Amino acid sequence: MSSETTLQALQELDFTRDLPPEQMEKLAALAFEVHFPENFTIFRELEAGELIYLIKSGQVALFVRVPGKGRTTILTLGPGELLGWSSLFPSGRKTASARTTTPVEAIAFNAAQLREAMEEDNALCCSLLWRVTQIIASRLKATRLQLLDIYAPSQEH
C-alpha cells in the first residue's frame, strides 16, 4: 500500500483534514486501504474489535439483532464517516454489527497500533480524541432524536 495515496486520502477526509502535517504523516504510516464487496459483514455486535475505519466511498449499515424482530438497521454511514470507534478503547466491544450495502473503500487502522502512537504523542492523542468525541456526541444526539419519534402524528387538540 502506497503511503502516499493514503496520505492524500487523509488530506481529503473531513476527519483528518485539519491535522498538523506531522500528525497526518504518523497516521498515514499506520493506515492501510481496504475494499469490501457489497453485502459483506465487516464486524459483528459484541465482537472484540481490532480495526477502525474511515469510509472513503460506499455505504455501511449498522444494525442490531432483536430477538423476535430480526435485524433492525439503526444507522447508515457514508463517505467521510468513522466506523468502529469503539475499538479505540482497549476493552471495546462492537456496539452493533456492520454490513456493507454497496462496495466500500475505506482507510483502516489497527487499534492497538493507533493507541500506541497516541500514548507516545500527546498532541496526536488529543487531536484524535477530540474528533472521536465530537462524533460520539453527534451519534448520541442522533440516537436520542430517533428515540423521541419527532415526526409522530400528534395528540388531538
Partner 1 sequence: MLNTMTTPTAPVPHPGPMLTFPARILEIKEEAYAIATYQIAFESEAVRKTYRFRPGQFNMLYLPGIGEVPISMSSDPAEPEVIGHTIRYAGNVTRAISRLQTGDVIGVRGPYGSYWPMERLIGDDLCIVTGGIGLAPLRPVIYHVLRHREQYGRVYLLYGARTPKEMLYTDEFEDWKQQGIQILLTVDRADPSWRGNVGVVPMLFYQLRLDPKKTAVLTCGPEIMIHFVIYEALARRISKERIYVSMERNMKCGVGLCGHCQFGPAFVCKEGPVFAYAAIEPFFGVEEF
Partner 2 sequence: MPELTPTIGAFVSIEKGRLQNVMDALKAAGYTLVGPTLDEGAIVYDEIEGVADLPRGWTDRQEPASYRLQRREDDAYFGYVVGPHSWKKFLLPPRRTLMRVVKKEGAFVVVDEEEPAPRYAFIGVRGCEMQAIHIQDRVFLGGPYQDPGYRARRQQAFVLAVNCTEPGGTCFCASMGTGPEVGLGYDLALTELDDIFIVEIGSELGATMMRETDWRPAGAFELQQARDALAEARRNMGRQLDTTDLPNLLYKNLEHARWDQVADRCLSCGNCTMVCPTCFCQDVLDVSDLKGETFERVWVWDSCFSIDYSHVHGGNIRPHTRARYRQWLTHKFASWIDQFGVIGCVGCGRCITWCPVGIDVTEEIDAIRGEV
- Residue numbers at the binding site for partner 2 (CB under 8 A): 154-155, 157
Q: Which is nearer to partner 2, 130 or 151 (CB)?
A: 151
Window 124-153: residues binding partner 1 (CB under 8 A):
134, 138-139, 141-142, 145-146, 148-153
Among 2, 91, 122, 154, indicate the residue that binds partner 1 (CB under 8 A).
154
Among 56, 80, 105, 131, indicate the residue that binds partner 1 (CB under 8 A).
80
129: Cβ–Cβ under 8 A, 6 or more apart, which residues?
118
Torsion angle of alpha carbons 25, 26, 27, 32, nearest 10°? 90
Interaction partner, residue 73 (partner 2, partner 1, none; CB < 5-8 Å by kind) = partner 1
Interatomic CA distance for residues 7 and 32, integer angstroms: 10
Among 74, 92, 121, 125, indicate the residue that binds partner 1 (CB under 8 A).
74
Interaction partner, residue 79 (partner 2, partner 1, none; CB < 5-8 Å by kind) = partner 1
49, 86 contact by CB (below 8 A): yes
Interatomic CA distance for residues 104 and 79, integer angstroms: 9
Buried b (16+ CB within 10 A) or exposed e, 1-10: eeeeebbebb
Window 3-62: residues binding partner 1 (CB under 8 A):
14, 59, 61
Q: Which is nearer to partner 1, 5 or 134 (CB)?
A: 134
24, 11 contact by CB (below 8 A): yes
Interatomic CA distance for residues 91 and 78, integer angstroms: 26
78 near partner 1, rule: CB under 8 A? yes
| Interaction site with partner 1 (CB under 8 A) | 14, 59, 61, 72-81, 101, 134, 138-139, 141-142, 145-146, 148-154, 156-157
